[in-house]
């Protein structure tokens, strides 16, 4: 049975509960514990798959095909451990499951209520992870802010679990301590109110983490502890860090891991000290890199920082390991035209064409791809980006002016990207998207084969349309090689261009598989090629 740690948030949203939870997970893992992170999202959507990235940032995909909250991406990148559907629960899923049980008659005529039925379902989902026997700790982040109507059933579930599990269950509350410039003072009143709100729901936090822009004096921490019934040493600060990857070290300085372990009954004499060597090496590389690598990411959700979170992080990890400093510019595909593309993309050493859904911004992506292809700029196309590579090549090299994906034009004669009959063998009945990890075999002699260093790979998918195999020969005759295949369904997963320094399109999402300690080989090689690009021009 695992021990359970909860992370709630108060005062404001966006304080970084996910990063705090992942960082604590990292520290416990570094001491030899087996840890997993879980996120409870209080919204009514069954999963974030249908949410516009502008609403909720990137939709992360787990190996088992769950469309998940982007915090799961942080968990995987920090802990280097894969997450699954059970790691992300929404209120919609909880209610759906309870209502399905009710319709089946599982409740034997009982009146279905929030307590105990909804809370029991929440607890079942939290405990399920712990009962797998795979983990010593399950760290569950409760989305939203304490006081929200939506999060009340989750807080109630925390209350019950704390009552039932005693020392094996611990609650951490993350709040914000604002600095009032006019008064030149840090203010703890919002924290006190937030803890009051939590206490009103019957949850006494064991540890308070105060997010702040300025260091908090010990006397102030002690005062907060006194007001909130928390021992003074269990009130810790989390000062803004230049990078999310420094947060584990910051909270280690505050001894958060020790406090948590002691409160959960561990004798620190019998627990290994955290081994963060590799993590520190990574941070050291980041700090000392001075040479820049300039990358453009062409996509349609560029106004929101979180929309391409995993791509940004993957590029950043790959740059770090090559001792380069990533200079990433996100370019709104809607604004790119054949007329301005040279001006917009000049000077970038590599171009990434983003995934996406729907027709907005497609012509800009096509213009960017043509520019990269003709000017021999390293170019990585991801999912829709790969499909656009196929469309651009068909239009400008194969000579099919009307080539398109049937996502954007159902009438086109040259449907080079289409809904394929073969793909139906891979998709669960009723679902229309290919989701989760699928295997792919890499052709001998292909650049991707050398990049991965093996023949069989497995990568995560999230799409409806596929490269149309009927055109494969035509593409290959003109130098665009179909080098990655899903053999089971005979689907093309990777295309790469001959006679180009680096031009690769992948139908899957490599950005979901890289972690801090294990950067993804495709991003690594792309950044290497981008770095070499300048040398070529010099």
Active site residues: 383, 509, 511
Kindly determine how many residues on this chain lie close enough to bind ligand GLN according to the rule CB under 6 A.
11
CA distance 284 to 378: 28
Sole window of 341-349, 451-459, 463-471, 495-503 interacting with ligand GLN (rule: CB under 6 A) = 463-471
Least separation in angstroms between CB 464 and ligand GLN: 4
Examine residue 27 and tell whether it contacts ligand GLN (CB under 6 A): no
CA distance 9 to 42: 13
Contacts of residue 58, Cβ cutoff 8 Å, sequence gap at least 6? 70, 73, 306, 307, 308, 309, 310
Between 332 and 371, how does the x/- string for binding to ligand GLN read (CB under 6 A)? -----------------------xxx--------------
Three-class SS state of 263? helix
DSSP state of 116: I
Least separation in angstroms between CB 340 and ligand GLN: 24
In the complex with ligand GLN, the residue whose CB is nearer, 137 or 526, is 526
Question: Half-sphere exposure of 424 toward its Cβ, with a 13 Å CA cutoff?
Answer: 6
In the complex with ligand GLN, the residue whose CB is nearer, 43 or 357, is 357
> Pick from 384, 391, 457, 516: which binds ligand GLN (CB under 6 A)?
384
> Pick from 101, 214, 464, 478: which binds ligand GLN (CB under 6 A)?
464
Cα 203–chain centre separation: 29
Encoding tokens for residue 305? 């920082």
Sole window of 164-172, 194-202, 315-323, 379-387 interacting with ligand GLN (rule: CB under 6 A) = 379-387
Least separation in angstroms between CB 314 and ligand GLN: 15
3-state secondary structure 47-101: CHHHCCHHHHCCCEECCCCCEECCHHHHHHHHHCCCCCHHHEEEHHHHHHHHHHH
Residue tagged 């086109």 (tokens): 412
Examine residue 65 and tell whether it contacts ligand GLN (CB under 6 A): no
In the complex with ligand GLN, the residue whose CB is nearer, 60 or 502, is 60
> Pick from 252, 395, 463, 500: which binds ligand GLN (CB under 6 A)?
463
Least separation in angstroms between CB 462 and ligand GLN: 5
3-state secondary structure 387-401: HHHHHHHHHHCCCCC
Report DSSP letters for 437-472, one per residue: EEEEEEPTT-HHHHHHTSSEEEEEEEES-EE-GGGH
Least separation in angstroms between CB 125 and ligand GLN: 27
Residues of this chain that interact with ligand GLN (CB under 6 A) are: 355-357, 383-384, 387, 407, 462-465
């Amino acid at each position: 049975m695992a021990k359970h740690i909860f992370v709630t948030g108060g005062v404001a949203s966006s304080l970084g509960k996910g990063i705090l939870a992942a960082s604590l997970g990292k520290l416990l893992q570094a001491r030899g514990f087996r840890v997993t992170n879980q996120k409870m999202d209080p919204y009514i959507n069954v999963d974030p798959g249908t949410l516009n990235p502008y609403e909720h940032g990137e939709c992360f995909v787990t190996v088992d095909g769950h469309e998940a909250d982007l915090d799961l991406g942080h968990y995987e990148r920090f802990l280097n451990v894969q997450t699954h559907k059970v790691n992300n629960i929404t209120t919609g899923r909880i209610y759906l499951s309870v209502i399905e049980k009710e319709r089946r008659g599982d409740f034997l005529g009982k009146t279905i209520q929030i307590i105990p039925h909804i809370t029991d379902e929440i607890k079942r989902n939290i405990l399920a992870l712990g009962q797998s026997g795979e983990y010593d700790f399950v760290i569950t982040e409760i989305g939203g802010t304490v006081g929200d109507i939506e999060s009340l059933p989750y807080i109630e579930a925390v209350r019950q679990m704390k009552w039932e599990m005693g020392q094996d269950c611990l609650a951490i509350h993350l709040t914000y301590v604002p600095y009032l410039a006019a008064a030149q003072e840090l203010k703890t009143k919002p924290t006190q109110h937030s803890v009051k709100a939590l206490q009103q729901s019957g949850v006494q936090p064991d540890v308070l983490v105060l997010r702040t822009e300025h260091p908090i004096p010990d006397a102030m921490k002690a005062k907060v502890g006194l007001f909130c019934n928390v021992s003074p040493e269990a009130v810790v600060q989390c000062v803004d860090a230049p990078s999310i990857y420094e947060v584990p070290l910051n909270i280690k300085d505050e001894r958060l891991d020790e406090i948590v372990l002691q409160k959960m009954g561990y004798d620190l004499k019998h627990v290994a000290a955290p081994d963060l060597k590799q993590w520190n090496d990574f941070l050291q590389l980041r700090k000392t890199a001075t040479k820049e690598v300039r990358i453009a990411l062409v996509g349609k959700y560029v106004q929101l920082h979180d929309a391409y979170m995993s791509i940004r992080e993957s590029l950043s990890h790959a740059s770090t390991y090559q001792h380069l400093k990533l200079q990433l510019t996100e370019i709104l595909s809607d604004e790119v035209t054949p007329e301005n593309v040279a001006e917009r993309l000049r000077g970038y050493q590599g171009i990434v064409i983003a995934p996406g859904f729907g027709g907005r911004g497609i012509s800009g992506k096509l213009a960017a791809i043509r520019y990269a292809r003709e000017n021999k700029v390293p170019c990585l196309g991801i999912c829709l980006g790969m499909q656009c590579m196929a469309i651009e090549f068909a239009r400008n090299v194969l000579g099919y002016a009307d080539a398109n994906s049937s996502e954007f034009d159902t009438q086109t004669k040259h449907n080079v990207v289409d809904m394929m009959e073969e793909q139906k063998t891979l998709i669960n009945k009723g679902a229309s998207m290919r989701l989760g990890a699928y295997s792919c075999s890499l052709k001998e002699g292909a650049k991707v084969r050398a990049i991965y260093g093996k023949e069989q790979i497995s990568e995560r998918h999230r799409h409806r349309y596929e490269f149309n195999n009927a055109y494969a020969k035509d593409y290959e005759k003109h130098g665009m090689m179909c080098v990655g295949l899903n053999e089971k369904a005979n689907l093309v997963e990777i295309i790469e261009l001959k006679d180009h320094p680096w031009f690769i399109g992948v139908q899957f999402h490599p950005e979901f598989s890289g972690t801090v300690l294990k950067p993804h080989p495709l991003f690594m090689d792309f950044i290497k090629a981008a770095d070499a690009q300048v040398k070529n021009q010099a």
